[in-house]
Structure formats: C-alpha cells, structure tokens
C-alpha cells in the first residue's frame, strides 16, 4: 500500500515488502499448522478371536489405508484377547495379526489390563478407544458400563447385554450418555443385515412403529425354506446340521431362545421394558426331548436327530395343513407395540407374504409404521455367517470413524 503523503518512495517500497513478507509467513504458518495437525486415531480392543474376530481383523487391516485416505482417520487394532491369552500391540503393530496370525508376545488374558492398555493408547494419541466384544459371554457384557463411562465406544454381536437383565441394560445406556460414547449392536439381530439401524432411524425421525415381525434365525429360516410336504422333518434338520447351520446341539436353535433374545433387543429399542422371560417362546423341541441326553460316546447332534424321527408324522400334519390352505410355515418373532407384547412361535403365512419369499438362510424383518402403511418396510438378506457378522461390526466402527473425520481430509 502507498505510504503517507510525502513519504520517500524507498520507504514506501520497504513497507510494501515487509507487509508482503508478513502475509507470506502467516500463510506458511497456517499451512504448517494444517500439515502438523494429528490424524485422529481409533484404537480398537477386541475380545474374542474366533471366526468372527479373525474376519473382523482381516476386514480392518484390508481397508485401514483407504479409510485413512477417505476419512482422515486412522484405525488400529491395539489389543486382542482370546479365552486364555491376549496380545497388547505396540503402535503400528497390528500387521502381526494379518492372515489370522497370532503374535508370540502373548500374555495371560486380563480384560481389566486390556482395557487400561487401550484407553492409555487412545489418550496418548489424542484419539478414541473402542471395545469390540465378539463373545457370547456375560463376562465382557458386565464390563460395558465401565467401558462406556470411560469414553470407550462398544460394538458387539453379543446379545447378552441387549437381552439380559433390564437393570443392566439401563445402566449401560446411561453410561454411554455419561461417557459421550456409543453402544453399537447392529450385529446382535441381523449380523450384517441392517435391522437395528433402520429401526433407530425411523424412531428418531418421528415415525410411529406399530408392529415388528421377522425371521431372525438363519438356521430356522433354512429349515423352513427347505422343508416341503412329503419330506421328513428330521431329515431336513439333519441336513441343516450337516451343513453347519445348527449348533452342535440342534436344540440350541430349535428352542427359539436365540430368536427370543433378538426380539427382546428390538422390543427395548422400541421402548418396551421387557425381559426375555416376559416373551412366550414356543419351542420346536418336543417336551420329551428337552432334557434328553445322548448315550455314552454318541454325538449329541446325531443322537437328537434320531430321536426327532418319532415326531416326523406330527410335523408332517402341520406342513400338510398349511399347504392345503395355500400357506407356508415360518418361525417368527413378533412385537406388537400397541399391546406392549412380543412372541416367538411357528406361524402360517400366505404364499404372497414377504416371509414366503425368503430363500436359503435369509433373515427378514417387516416394520409396520405410520409412514409405512399399508405395506411395511421390509429388510431381507443373509443374516448369519462370520463374514456378514464381522461386516456388521465393521459398519458400527465406520459410524464412529465418520464422527471423528479430520476436516482437512
């Protein structure tokens, strides 16, 4: 800019150069600040390193670099616990887990020490901590409250917290609010199939959900999709067992308890204060076989299927009656929000109903709401398996990472 009137031209030029230099230095300083801004990091502690845990780690390692580029957020597996041992990894050390490997620097499993390690790593980097529980145990679920209150996010396919004692469930939710953290459990109901998320979105947007119905067991979906009139029910159950759809003891699936847990989770999401014991569950296990035990040396799965043969005629009459009426049999969990009740049972549906169109081991959920009426919102697809379950958990991790995005990314 020009100097004051009468100022020598040389002085004016010096003032202009000084001003330009100051602006250049300021610009360079701003760029330096941006360049030095730490990339946010999500430190993940994993409890449970079976099929789902290994698949999750594989998905994270395969996508970490791309996510850092796209979101400006780093994700690092900081610690992993198996049933008896665990590894606490140095920064950048999660590559030691590639291809399902287990590092040799293991120590005895101690969830308290693992928790402290992950929280300390997050504090040191200025990032956030996240705990992933891949077990089906109550022990990790008992720690959710402390994890969330300490500011660590929690993601899990474990149904024990969501369907366990309501008093614990309330404390977990309160701890998340207190800690500014998130309790994420999409994988508890549909594995990688989005069921919890769409329901939460409907409720937050102000829709009124009146009824939720669904086929929430991949095992029972496969059985009733496969079983046709003229086929022996016991043979279909045996086929499901041989293909790995059932638990080692098929009664764990046929009892309907797992479906009951999923229904409990969804009912609570809708605002019902239900306990698992409040939901009538019509088991597919004959009463006489509920406490049956295999002979010495006999496989429980093979022995149970053999015992089930005695009930083939009874089951044949059920499917024949449904077929005569133009209907199908499906094992369904249902929530009636107006009545405040829920149920789990084998039901009949017309062949043009969405449940009649399921294939293989599909899960499906139908949401009847004020907005989705008279036709419900339907979500359908694969709802079981390590890959899709891990994908559901990974999706919850991405939600957290999206909230941590670096503005300069």
Residues in contact with 189: Cβ distance below 8 Å, sequence separation at least 6, in sequence order: 195, 196, 216, 262, 265, 266, 365
Is residue 262 annotated as a catalytic residue, yes or no? yes
Catalytic residue chosen out of the listed positions 262, 273, 306, 345: 262
- Among left, alpha and beta (phi > 0; psi -120 to 50; other), residue 217 is beta
Catalytic sites, residue numbers: 262
């Amino acid at each position: 800019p020009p100097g004051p009137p009468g100022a020598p031209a040389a002085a004016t030029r010096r003032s202009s150069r000084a001003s330009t230099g100051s602006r250049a230095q300021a610009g360079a300083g701003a760029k330096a600040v941006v360049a030095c801004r730490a990339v946010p990091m999500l430190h993940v502690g994993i409890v449970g390193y079976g099929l789902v845990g290994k698949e999750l780690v594989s998905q994270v390692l395969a996508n970490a670099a791309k996510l850092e580029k796209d979101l400006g957020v780093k994700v690092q597996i900081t610690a992993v616990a198996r049933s008896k041992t665990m590894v606490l990894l140095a920064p950048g050390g999660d590559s030691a887990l590639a291809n399902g490997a287990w590092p040799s620097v293991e120590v005895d499993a101690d969830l308290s020490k693992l928790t402290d390690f992950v929280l300390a790593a997050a504090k040191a980097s200025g990032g956030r901590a996240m705990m992933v529980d891949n077990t089906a145990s109550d022990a990790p679920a008992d720690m959710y409250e402390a994890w969330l209150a300490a500011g660590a996010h929690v993601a899990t396919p474990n149904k024990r917290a969501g369907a366990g004692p309501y008093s614990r469930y309330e404390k977990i939710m309160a701890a998340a609010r207190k800690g500014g953290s998130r309790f994420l459990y999409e994988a508890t109901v549909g594995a990688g199939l989005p069921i919890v998320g769409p329901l939460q979105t409907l409720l937050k947007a102000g829709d009124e959900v009146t009824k939720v119905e669904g086929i929430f067991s991949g095992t029972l979906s496969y059985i009733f999709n496969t079983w046709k009139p003229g086929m022996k029910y016991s043979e279909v159950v045996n086929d499901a067992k041989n293909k790995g759809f059932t638990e080692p003891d098929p009664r764990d699936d046929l009892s309907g308890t797992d479906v009951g847990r999923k229904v409990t989770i969804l009912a609570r999401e809708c605002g019902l204060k239900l306990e698992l014991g409040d939901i009538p569950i019509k088991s597919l296990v004959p009463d006489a076989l509920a406490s049956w035990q295999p002979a010495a040396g006999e496989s429980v799965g093979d022995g149970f299927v053999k015992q089930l043969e005695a009930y083939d005629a009874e089951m044949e009459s059920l499917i024949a009656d449904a077929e005569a009426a133009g209907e199908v049999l499906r094992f369904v969990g249902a929530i009636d929000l107006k009545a405040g009740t829920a149920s789990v049972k084998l039901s009949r549906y017309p062949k043009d109903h969405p449940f009649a169109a399921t294939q293989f081991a599909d899960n499906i959920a139908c949401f009847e709401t004020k907005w989705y009426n008279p036709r419900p919102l339907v979500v359908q697809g694969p709802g079981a398996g390590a890959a899709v379950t891990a994908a559901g958990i990974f999706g919850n991790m991405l939600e957290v990472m999206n909230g941590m995005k670096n503005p300069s990314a």
